[in-house]
Amino acid sequence: MDNHAFDGHEGGPANNVRRTSIRPTLATIPSGIGMDNLAFETSEDILRHQAAGANLRVGNTESKMRSSLRRLGAGARRLTNEAVPRLANYSNIFQMATTGTRPTMEELHESIVEEKPADRGINGEEQIPRQKLGWIEGVLIRNMLNIWGVMLFLRISWVVALAGIWQTLIIICISTFVTFVTALSTSAIVTNGEIGGGGTYYVMSRILGPEWGGSIGLLFALANAINGSLNVVGFCQTLQDTMKNYGGYTIIDGGINDTRILGTILMILVWALCGLGTKYESLTQQMLVVILAVALANFFVGSFIGPQSDMSQARGYLGYRLDLIQENWDSGYVFNSGMMQDFFSVFAVYFPAGIGILAGANISGDLKDPSDAIPKGTIWAIISTSISYAIVAIVCAATTKRQATGSVEDFHNGTFLNCGPTNCTYGSYNDYQLMTLISAYGPLNYAGCFAATLSTALASYISCPKLLQVIGDDKLYPHWMVGWMTKGYGKSQEPHLAYLFTFFLALGFILIAQLDMIALLISDLFLITFAFLNYACFHVDLVQPVGWRPTFKYYNKWLSLFCACLCIAIMFMIDWKVALVTLAIVFFFYFIVLYRKPDVNWGTSSQAMNLQDALTSIQQLMHIEEHVKNYQPHILALTGSPRSRPALIDFAYLICKKNSMLVCGNVVEGKITTKMRGEILQKSYKHLRKNDIKGFCSLIGNVDLPTGVSAMLEVAGVGKIRPNILVIGYKNDWRVCDRQSLKQYFATIHAGFSLHVGVAILRVPEGLDYSAILGDTDELNINSTADGHSPVSVIESPPGTPDIDRHIGNSDTPLDNANLPDTKKDTKRGKKSKKDCKLVGSDGKELPRHIYNNITRFQKKQLEGTIDVWWLYDDGGLTLLLPYIISTRSNWAACQLRVFCTANNHEEVEKEREGMAALLNKFRIDYSDLIVITDLNKPPKESTRNWFDGLIRPFIRREELSETERVSLQAKTDRHCRLRELVVDHSTDSNLIVMTLPIARKEAVSAPMYMAWLETLTANMPPFLLVRGNQTSVLTFYA
């Protein structure tokens, strides 16, 4: 850079007096100098901030510095287009792509400027940011209110009465252990980067994949809705007790029916409040937590004050007494709530008390910083609430009797503890409102119970729609199942339809109106969720992908695995039948996603493990010598754009399906950019997925066809898994294409032989290239045909083809057969053809039936027939192996193999037949017939020779084929002409003909002569496959 760029003077040679140079210091030069264009667009702001910091008054000097810095910025912009690291450039975590202001490699290396799509919101509208919550109001308060729910006020005294103090503490410890380890696992996951909306579902689906993540996410959403029902029922039971104690009011029967009526009314209020949005629901939560804290303080004060009336003592509340602690220390399981209680039944009722630990994670999309808020708020909520549950349980056990009559007269007589089978309806066994009895002011405890149940109901109710909205947006399930309820309304995009669905779902469980039964149902749902959360942490930490870098370090993968196993074990200990039903529901939703195969890529730990396993397996294979018994036909098929030659891909996949690797090769002569390459490959893989073809795509540009094919054969694959067969389509336009195109096609065949791979050429009567009909799906102006050139015209067979008059002959393009009858009936199609039953052309209209039949020829069920194998030369057995593999496919099961071989004379027919039959039997290959050809060396008919001469005459006239070559190869020409006559006699009605491909010796056979031989063998025939192995055995009869 020129020093004059920093000078403060404007003049040139006329200025004899050199003004003082003002050179920018490090304080005035932005940090992105020479690297980021945007760094120089705010030079005036830099000067203004500098002046403000130093309290300087600048006049002419400021103007001079501005001018100098402008020249400095212009010079730096000319130096480079580099960008400094920015947060926006890494905001897209779903794919490795350049975003924001980061220049592309083409812009830096080749000065090619590409348009970058502008960031738009939904439907192109500007999105208004939501109101975000901090860790206290968003996670801590929400979790504490969700944990301090119905169990604290209505069931903790019942738990300690049955289990005793020490077993109650064990129950609390087990529940706390499960929730605490789950919180540690969740914290590790959520601190491994930013998480989106959906919380629990989001982290599980991004680690375990859409199948497990979607199934557990739906169950977790269901569990939250049921948890809301549980707390609404608890609210209603408390309200019923309040009505009885303060006025004796009832609605119908004072029992289940009243609970249902009150529950319905309360659910309508909850629905209306949550429908206003997270902001108003959060404000309500903050008011409720104050009421709840006052109610708990009221309870502890009342326990120290002691009984305030004879009625309180008659109901079993005696105050702190050592004998009560001794009495309630051990368990006292009895027949209660319609069943004989034990440790696990009591645990099942208590466990929902701790399930609220994920309430904050469920609304992760509404948090300011989920990675910081979720670990901090969740762990503090678990610690504080677990301690409070243990203290409340001990207070209840230390102050109340298990059973009491509740009669003041019995208390005065000293008989209030003499309980028979039915006369004791109070005490910690029977009185669910025991905390109200202990409290200093009873009505305040009712208010606390109302606040606890209502707050948990609100938190659970709002979590379910949020989860459903995120699951629906990911489109894992059919629209009728989840997608219809995900639409957002208003500035905050609230899912009102999901709220409505949750309302009816929760209302259905409210109608059960039995608290203990609902608690049993949701215990399994939350346990399975906790199990998968812990397993997700274990799995991703075990795999250790490069992207696994959580900032929360206080976790252990083995502890997470133990907790996951413990959750499953507890499920079966509580109720094995309910556990089995829960697992069945999980697998049901799992298989729905597995069947739908959603087009998502989330970088799951399963993908990372698959990559590691694949790499390990390939590395192990490198140390194992290849064996003929393990031979697999790995195919490189020159398909160009996969949509342009669907029949060629289908045929290649018949061989590779579940056996070996298929690579779809695309050679582009023109230059392609990285962006174009990505688009082509993306659409190619989309076509493969749509047609359920498991294969790979390889694209090479800026080379001719033989060079590109050689490169792909040499570098495609990895280790021992690399293509060993080259499959190409027959060049139908070889007689009319330009000379260079024909030479390149011929050189491609030689390239396959030179690289020691098998070569197969497929020809079908209607042709393979349908790019002109189906359209250019890549939407790019490039040449990408299999032979490297767009065909001028397609000639299936030359005029005057002898010895066979087929209605499919003399076809210039596939469209020319539009007026011809279909020779094969439209039989029952396989699964793939059903899925792709409507193909549209480049004009957007559905293709005619006969065109569709030609395109899907190798997808359809074949009629009963034969596959004729003309095994003329020993190429290692590939000519026999490929048709055998095809015959094992379900669509070709009705086709039997017929094997043709040759003998020199009639005396050797039986000997040749026996030898070939023995060989086929040792190869364990079933065949329907074995035919030995004896007159292959017989001269061909004159009409056949004349027809062949008509093929090569134009090339001789253009001096592309010499007369000397024609004469020297006459014997081979006669052999091919005679072979054609034999094929016409024996195989014109077969479903597929497979023949050993003749090899053209280098420098001895020209491209026109070789193509004339292939034309002679294949013209106007059924689907014809010419195959030549690499002269290495691919079959063996050894075990």
For residue 815, what are the CA distances in angstroms to 536, 695, 728, 849, 917? 55, 29, 22, 12, 44
Does the pLDDT of residue 47 top 50, yes or no? no
> 276-299, pLDDT tens digit by residue?
655 666 677 677 778 888 888 988
Contact at 8 Å (CB) between 871 and 901?
yes
The pLDDT, as a whole number, for residue 390 is 92
Residues of the chain with pLDDT > 90: what percent?
A: 23
The pLDDT, as a whole number, for residue 60 is 52
Q: How far is it, in rounded angstroms, from Cα 566 to Cα 165? A: 23
Q: Confidence class of residue 892 from pLDDT cuts 50, 70 and 90?
A: very high
Mean pLDDT within 36-46 = 39
The pLDDT, as a whole number, for residue 282 is 64
Q: Structural domain boundaries of the chain?
A: 3-83, 135-294+337-384+442-596, 628-1028
The pLDDT, as a whole number, for residue 705 is 92
Least confident range from 120-129, 354-363, 569-578, 696-705: namely 120-129
> 776-791, pLDDT tens digit by residue?
544 333 334 444 333 3
* 442-473 helix and 278-305 helix, angle to the nearest 10 degrees: 150
Does the pLDDT of residue 134 top 60, yes or no? yes
Residues 6+ apart with CB under 8 A from 820: 807, 808, 850
In the numeric block, the tokens 């326990």 are attached to 303
The pLDDT, as a whole number, for residue 568 is 93
Contact at 8 Å (CB) between 894 and 863?
yes
What's the token pair of residue 230? 């549980």
Q: How far is it, in rounded angstroms, from Cα 255 to Cα 61? A: 88
Least confident range from 339-348, 377-386, 632-641: namely 339-348
Phi, psi dihedral angles at 92 (to 5 degrees): -90, 100
User: Which strands sit side by side in the sheet containing 1024-1028, from one edge to the other?
Assistant: 696-701, 662-668, 635-638, 725-729, 758-763, 1024-1028, 992-996, 865-870, 895-902, 929-933
Question: Chain-wide mean pLDDT for the chain?
Answer: 78
Mean pLDDT within 593-622 = 81
The pLDDT, as a whole number, for residue 268 is 84
The pLDDT, as a whole number, for residue 840 is 67
Contact at 8 Å (CB) between 1002 and 750?
yes
Mean pLDDT within 553-579 = 90
**Which amino acid does the sequence have at 485?**
M
Least confident range from 125-139, 170-184, 283-297, 414-428: namely 125-139
For residue 912, what are the CA distances in angstroms to 740, 933, 976? 44, 10, 21
Q: How far is it, in rounded angstroms, from Cα 891 to Cα 829? A: 9
Contact at 8 Å (CB) between 217 and 243?
no
The pLDDT, as a whole number, for residue 729 is 93
Q: Confidence class of residue 521 from pLDDT cuts 50, 70 and 90?
A: confident
Query: How many C-beta atoms lie closer than 10 Å to residue 849's C-beta?
Result: 10
Contact at 8 Å (CB) between 782 and 676?
yes
The pLDDT, as a whole number, for residue 66 is 54
Contact at 8 Å (CB) between 436 and 446?
yes
Mean pLDDT within 344-363 = 78
The pLDDT, as a whole number, for residue 616 is 83
The pLDDT, as a whole number, for residue 508 is 85
Contact at 8 Å (CB) between 347 and 574?
yes
> 231-290, pLDDT tens digit by residue?
788 788 878 887 877 777 778 777 788 888 888 888 888 777 766 655 666 677 677 778
Least confident range from 71-80, 526-535, 843-852: namely 71-80
What's the token pair of residue 11? 């003049």
Does the pLDDT of residue 40 top 60, yes or no? no
Does the pLDDT of residue 1015 top 90, yes or no? yes
Class of domain 135-294+337-384+442-596: mainly alpha
Does the pLDDT of residue 761 top 80, yes or no? yes
The pLDDT, as a whole number, for residue 759 is 94
Q: What sign for the dihedral angle of Cα 226, 227, 228, 232?
A: positive
Contact at 8 Å (CB) between 645 and 786?
yes
The pLDDT, as a whole number, for residue 666 is 92
Least confident range from 278-282, 299-303, 758-762: namely 278-282
The pLDDT, as a whole number, for residue 34 is 36
862 φψ region: left (φ > 0), alpha (ψ -120 to 50), beta (else) = beta
> 944-980, pLDDT tens digit by residue?
999 999 999 999 998 888 889 899 999 999 999 999 9
